[in-house]
Structure 1
Amino acid sequence: MYSVDQLPLQPDELDLLNELVPLSGQQVIELGCGNARLARSLLQRFPACHVTGLEVDAVQHAKNLAQPQAGLDFLSAGAQDIPFPAASFDLALMLKSLHHVPVSLLAQALSEVARVLKPGGYLYVSEPIYDGALNEVVRLFNDEGVVRAAAQAALDEALATTGQWETVTERRFAQAVSYRDFDEFEQRMMRPSFAQHDLNDAVVALVRSAFEPHMNPAGARFVRPMHVRLLRRTGN
């Protein structure tokens, strides 16, 4: 078992990824890349790599295309239907994105990832743990308990039944998350372009009342507990 307060703080997840996976000269695909922050940092540190970022949110995809970077391509596509031939990539990244895949499509998505990875390639899945003070605030308007559990169950099922994967390692750590004030929290967390939450004045007020006790003169600071599972594609 673990305690959120005892998890090691990981200031930069790229450091952990680099510890677990060889990154020099890799062909990388990130599924549900969001703003591709880690991918951009990866290419700055390892310029011989190439990263392809897939994103289903049209607003974020347009923003990504407007910020080109050498070695980084973007496509509008989801993990359940990856538009690349078999064995195209050395490493697949899913950073807080597996639980956003519709539950009915999780098995298909993991099968697609297996298809486009080279034998011996890695799948790095980093998912938020359903725990901690930030989760207690967020679940008031976006309770992800069911979908996060489904994401972990889909990984377990793929490992147990498909013959496509083997476990390499698991890690748990904490990420520091901060917000200047409630307005920033509301914009980033409650009104993202990729999701429509069922918000009304009463819900916003409830969330504000839960958020405000975490405020201090420097803003609101949380730690988000994370669970990394590193899988290897089997085969020759």
Structure 2
Amino acid sequence: MFDIIRKTDYWAALDDPQVFSRLEGFTLKALDGLKHIQDAWSLHQLLPLRNLRIIEIGGGASRVLPALDASNERWNLDEFLGDGNGVTAPVELEGCKLLRKKLGDFPPELPDAYFDLAFSISVIEHIPAEALPGFFADHARIMKPGGMAYHAIDIYVGDEGRPELEERIDLYFSSIRDHGFVFVSPPALARPASFRCEMASNSDWGMWRWNKNVPALQDIRRISQSVSIAAIIQKGS
């Protein structure tokens, strides 16, 4: 799978009582828009999992990892450098192992072929283009054959496609495929990528808040919608 999270995907996740409960029901957290959408989608995929080795890449003060069943061995991988307006102080999560390293640096603390599942939320879009091949090479290294990965990747889409966005999406495809991963279903993202009303998107309130944190992106936010690519990939056996 490689496609935009749709409203129907988001709503189906919210209709799951376990997901809805973990998101604290009817709270103002939903005003954050895209993160609420991504959390709901991720929880919907991951809450049923049991007895697996799971790593969240760039988890920071993770909202999803602590919610997963305690039968899973849970790792939080983050340097806590504040990238993408992330947290800068290490966060200890109950029942989770914290490792202050970066995927792509091939840290020996992450064993080869160890994890059954990896996931990330709003991480991959922050990785520089030149670092993406190394990121996915290290990603493949730590995964068991047949291991799964679920990634929610932010993008900005407008009325028409943008060449720089198309180049970035192409780089995602090549980095994934060149390092031994396959898509669990054929990629369905329409190209060139542009906004459609069926897509689950960030609220204008959420975009305004983001402008306060990262004002350099105000111009692109003014003419775009903030949506999320859902990428579900598997390491070849």
Q: Which residue in the other structure is 1:137 paired with?
A: none
Q: Which residue in the other structure is 1:8 paired with?
A: 8
Query: 2:117, 2:147 within 8 Å by CA — same for their partners in 1?
Result: yes
Higher strand share: 1
Give the paired residue count: 191
d(CA) in 2 for partners of 1:180, 1:130:
13
Normalized against structure 2, the TM-score is what? 0.63
Q: Which residue in the other structure is 1:166 paired with?
A: 182
Normalized against structure 1, the TM-score is what? 0.63
d(CA) in 1 for partners of 2:140, 2:104:
11
Residue type at the aligned position of 1:168: V
Q: Which residue in the other structure is 2:72 paired with?
A: 49
Query: 2:155, 2:228 within 8 Å by CA — same for their partners in 1?
Result: yes
Q: Quick check: 1:30 aligned with 2:56? A: yes
Question: Which sections of structure 2, spanning at least 5 residues, go unmatched?
Answer: 15-36, 190-198
d(CA) in 1 for partners of 2:51, 2:202:
30
CA spacing shift, 1:152–1:77, aligned 2, 3 Å: farther
- 1:125 aligned to which of 132, 144, 151: 151
Query: 1:7, 1:225 within 8 Å by CA — same for their partners in 2?
Result: no
Q: Which residue in the other structure is 1:155 paired with?
A: 172
State the Cα RMSD in Å: 3.7
Q: Quick check: 1:94 aligned with 2:130? A: no
Secondary structure in 1 matching 2:103: coil
How far the C-alpha of 1:178 sits from its partner, in A, is 6.5
Once the two structures are superposed, the pairs formed by residues 141-220 of structure 1 within 5 Å of their partners are 146=164, 149-162=166-179, 164-169=180-185, 174-177=200-203, 179=205, 182=208, 184-190=209-215, 197=216
Query: 2:202, 2:227 within 8 Å by CA — same for their partners in 1?
Result: no
Residue type at the aligned position of 1:115: R
CA spacing shift, 1:57–1:151, aligned 2, 3 Å: farther
Secondary structure in 1 matching 2:61: coil
How far the C-alpha of 1:78 sits from its partner, in A, is 1.8
CA spacing shift, 1:73–1:175, aligned 2, 3 Å: farther
CA spacing shift, 1:49–1:180, aligned 2, 3 Å: same
Q: Quick check: 1:116 aligned with 2:139? A: no
Query: 1:9, 1:175 within 8 Å by CA — same for their partners in 2?
Result: no
Query: 2:136, 2:176 within 8 Å by CA — same for their partners in 1?
Result: no
How far the C-alpha of 1:80 sits from its partner, in A, is 0.9
Higher CA-based Rg: 1
Q: Which residue in the other structure is 1:234 paired with?
A: 236
